[in-house]
Amino acid sequence: MADFLKENPSKELRIEKKKEFEEKLNEIINYKYWCEEAKSIVDNWLIAYRGHWLTAIEIEGITLDNNICERKIRGCIGWRKMLGGHRTGEGTRQYAIIETNRQTWKHKGKYPYNELLNVLRN
């Protein structure tokens, strides 16, 4: 897949190739002789997230891994530690919502402080 994406293929070629990769993924999922550990991985990961594995093939600009997301999440850990952690489940949930919006605004080139003020005013 990585070699295919290096060629910077057209949208039509991406859609065609995605179908080929989906067939290969289905062959892996439907293999009958998996050991118990492998069956667990197939059930919990390959089948559960079947519709998400090949997004990078179809949509230009998406990477095959989630390293960008992982790097963005790491920044939140420092803040969480400075705040002393989250004392309640509700506090954790609220922080996650605010931080998700903040990172989304930042990614879109918007100023998160102003965007949060707009949300609070509305």
- Report the domain count for the chain: 2
Domain boundary (27, 58, 89) is at: 58
Residues 77, 45 within the same domain: no
Supply the pLDDT for residue 32: 84
Do residues 71 and 35 both lie within one domain? no
Four-residue CA torsion sign, 69, 72, 78, 80: negative
How much is the pLDDT for 15?
92
- Same domain? For 81 and 36 the reply is no
Buried b (16+ CB within 10 A) or exposed e, 3-25: eebeeeeeeeebeebbeeeeeee
Within this chain, do residues 77 and 108 fall inside the same structural domain, yes or no? yes
**What pLDDT is attached to residue 23?**
94
Q: How far apart are CA 108 and CA 93, in angstroms?
A: 23
Q: Among the three residues 39, 58, 77, which one is the final residue of a domain in this structure?
A: 58
Single residue among 38, 58, 78 that ends a domain in this structure: 58
pLDDT in tens, the chain (122 residues): 889 988 889 999 999 999 999 999 999 888 888 888 888 888 888 888 888 888 888 888 888 887 777 777 777 878 777 877 778 888 888 888 888 898 889 889 999 999 999 999 99
Are 41 and 9 part of one and the same domain? yes
Same domain, 42 and 10: yes
Q: Based on the domain organization, do 86 and 104 belong to the same domain?
A: yes
Domain containing 25 equals 2-58
16 shares its domain with 54? yes
